[in-house]
């Protein structure tokens, strides 16, 4: 998991660390600190937790795991385009 991508996606969604954690199913008392530790690379979340983050942040799960930054942004753009077409 690329920690900086989690932070970038959270900021793009205009969510605090606490709000993201709570929306992803983390207990409110520990949500901010856990998301902070994930974003800082101190701890690694489970794949299931990353799937919950992806759903809340409206990004594909693979966005957090793709090593190439340009390819990750291409994946995200394609995901968003596909979602917009489905919603139209």
One DSSP character per residue, 38-83 reads HHTTSS---HHHHHHHHHHHT--GGGGT-S-HHHHHHHHHHHHHHH
> Rounded to whole angstroms, what are the CA distances from 15 to 11, 18, 57, 73, 85?
6, 8, 9, 20, 25
Q: Mind listing the pLDDT tens digit of every residue in the chain (88 residues)?
A: 999 999 999 999 999 999 999 999 999 999 999 999 999 999 999 999 999 999 999 999 999 999 999 999 999 999 999 988 888 7
pLDDT at position 29 is 96
pTM above 0.85, yes or no: yes
pLDDT at position 86 is 86
Alpha-carbon distance of 36 to 58, in angstroms, equals: 19
Alpha-carbon distance of 39 to 19, in angstroms, equals: 14
pLDDT at position 87 is 84
Based on C-alpha coordinates, what's the Rg of the chain? 13
pLDDT at position 51 is 97
């Amino acid at each position: 998991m690329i920690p900086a991508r989690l932070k970038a996606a959270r900021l793009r969604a205009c969510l605090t660390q606490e709000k993201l954690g709570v929306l992803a199913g983390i207990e409110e008392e520990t949500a901010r600190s856990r998301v902070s530790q994930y974003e800082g690379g101190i701890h690694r979340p489970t794949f299931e937790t990353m799937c919950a983050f992806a759903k809340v942040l409206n990004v594909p799960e693979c966005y957090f795991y793709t090593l190439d930054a340009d390819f990750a942004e291409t994946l995200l753009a394609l995901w968003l385009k596909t979602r917009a077409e489905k919603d139209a």
